[in-house]
Amino acid sequence: MGKYQELLVTWEETYKKGQLTLWIFLSLREGQKHVNEMREFIKELSQGTIVCDEQSLYRALRKFYDVSLVDFSFVKGNRGPDKKYYFLTDLGKRLLAEFIERNILLFFNERLIKLINIK
Amino acid sequence: MHVRNRFLLMFVTGCLILTLAFRLTLSHAIDTGGVFGIAATAVGYFGLLFTLGWFTGSGYYRKTRRADITFSIHFISYLSFFAISLLWFIWGNRSDHEKLWHVYLALGIWSPVLLYSYVLHQRHKQDYIDGIDKSTLFE
């Protein structure tokens, strides 16, 4: 791996750390989801840059459940056992909205958009 | 039952049994054994109580990823020890050589340690939200 690739991969690895929460919350903002659906959502909309396994999702969801950011309900499946569907609680929705406002929307500033689009 | 309460109930039960056994053995050791018997009883009690607390705390952590049970375990041990020790005197089961001030002496030694662990617990709590470590919550 060349120096350029190494720098890029290192930066991306650091950048992606902590992003899983945002992707999980965004997937649940769209509507309640099963873990597999969340994984698909994240893979598709991050264009494959964020790939997470079921265990990582369950681990994160369990912590979010413990601090009342997400909750779940069981939905009867066609076959097999009932599926656990996760959704954002009111606290989770409020937290996500505020996080987006403080940390994401700032990138929609015209000056920043121009800078981001410079090739 | 909530997971935390289940683990605490298990600890309370074990702690009460251990403390009763300790009081029984200690009174017997004071009457019949020498210093070695008394020391072995005290060390054995401490070792078993510590092991029980360790298994309770680590089992709870494995199950919940929370570490907010340690002070409760310490506090329960403290309460059980002094409640049973005082009851031992009230029930008249003490050895002829045991005096109430021995219990108060133990209380005087243990109380500052409990207070110190409470201060640590309060400091530690600032690193947690609902028992979840802040530094790992959104990682």
> CA B95 → CA A43, A65, A111, B138, distances in Å?
72, 53, 84, 57
Residue in chain A lying closest to B139 (CA): A18
The pLDDT profile of chain A, 119 residues, written as one tens digit per residue, is 789 999 998 988 888 888 999 999 999 999 999 999 999 999 999 998 888 888 989 989 998 998 999 999 998 877 778 889 999 999 999 999 999 999 999 999 999 999 999 87
Size of interface A-B (CB pairs under 8 A): 20
Please tell me the distance from the alpha carbon of residue A102 to that of residue A93, in angstroms, as a whole number.
Answer: 14
Q: Report yes or no: B8 and B53 within 8 Å, Cβ to Cβ.
A: no
Instruction: Judge whether residue B1 has pLDDT over 70.
Output: no
pLDDT digits (tens, 9 = 90+) for B62-89: 887 777 788 999 999 999 999 999 888 8
Please give the DSSP secondary-structure letter assigned to residue A18. Answer: T
At residue B93, does pLDDT exceed 90? no
Pairing type for strands B132-133 and B128-129 reads: antiparallel
Select the residue of A18, A62, A67 nearest B139 (Cβ to Cβ): A18
Task: Dump pLDDT digits (tens) for B18-64.
Answer: 999 999 898 888 888 678 888 999 999 999 999 999 999 999 888 87
The model's pLDDT over A6-17, given as tens digits with 9 standing for 90+, comes to: 999 898 888 888
Which tokens belong to A119? 């090739």
- What does the alpha-carbon distance between residue B52 and residue A105 come to, in Å, rounded to a whole number? 52
| Residue among B130, B138, B139 whose CB faces A66 most closely | B130
The ipTM is 0.74
Which of B117, B113, B121 is CA-nearest to residue B67? B121
